[in-house]
Amino acid sequence: MAVNVLILLLAYLLGSIPSGLIVGKLFYKTDIREHGSGNLGGTNTFRTLGVKAGVAVTLADILKGTLAASLPLLLGSELHMLLAGIFAVIGHMYPVFAGFRGGKAVATSGGILLAYAPLLFLFILVFFLVSLYITKMVSLSSMLTSAATFILSLFTRDVPLIIVVTLLAAFVIYRHRANIRRIRNKTEPKVKWFDKKK
């Protein structure tokens, strides 16, 4: 029991590591919470600090989820990997190290699936990139990918996976409430990463 509590605490703390804040302040002398959407995730990092910083933060956020979900295996516990992963996502959204103002859980959620179901992670990565290429909106692509992952999870018959993917999809959509309003108003920013003219 003590080991399981320790794992959940460590998972939350891992998720709480504010990758965007660290990269921004350490390498760019910039607090990305004061720019763009004010979000600590990869998307706002891309917009505020550029592609290199955005890629670094996104990878770090993915790896947080992967490491957190792997803690039960690393520490010899029977605790379910997905439960540890959920705590990392909560930490990412409400980080104790950044005033409980975190990201939108997309990359960290993907990191959990990378640890638990690598083929599913590969699917959502490809789906996300194709969706992003078509829509040019990270927010819409994230929500579409969450919905697609939920649908696909139903075919796995893996009940814990279905439950956790449902929770993750709900987290992602809930955290994108403002984006949904902007999409409806046609004011949501579009990315330029696939624009050959840029």
Let me know if residue 166 belongs to a domain: yes
Give pLDDT tens digits for 101-142.
Answer: 888 889 999 999 999 999 999 999 999 999 999 999 988 999
| Tens-digit pLDDT profile for residues 146-182 | 999 999 999 999 999 999 999 999 999 998 998 899 9
HEC secondary structure over 128-178:
HHHHHHHHCCHHHHHHHHHHHHHHHHHCCCCHHHHHHHHHHHHHHHHHCHH
pLDDT score recorded for residue 40: 84
DSSP conformational letter for 192: -
Domain that holds residue 56: 2-184
pLDDT in tens, 55-94: 999 999 999 999 999 999 999 999 999 999 999 999 999 9
178/173 Cα distance (integer angstroms): 10
Q: Is residue 189 part of a domain?
A: no
Tell whether the model's pLDDT for residue 193 goes beyond 80: no
Total of domains in the chain: 1
In a domain, residue 190? The reply is no
Is 89 inside a domain boundary? yes
Contacting residues for 193 by C-beta, under 8 A, at least 6 apart: 46, 51, 132
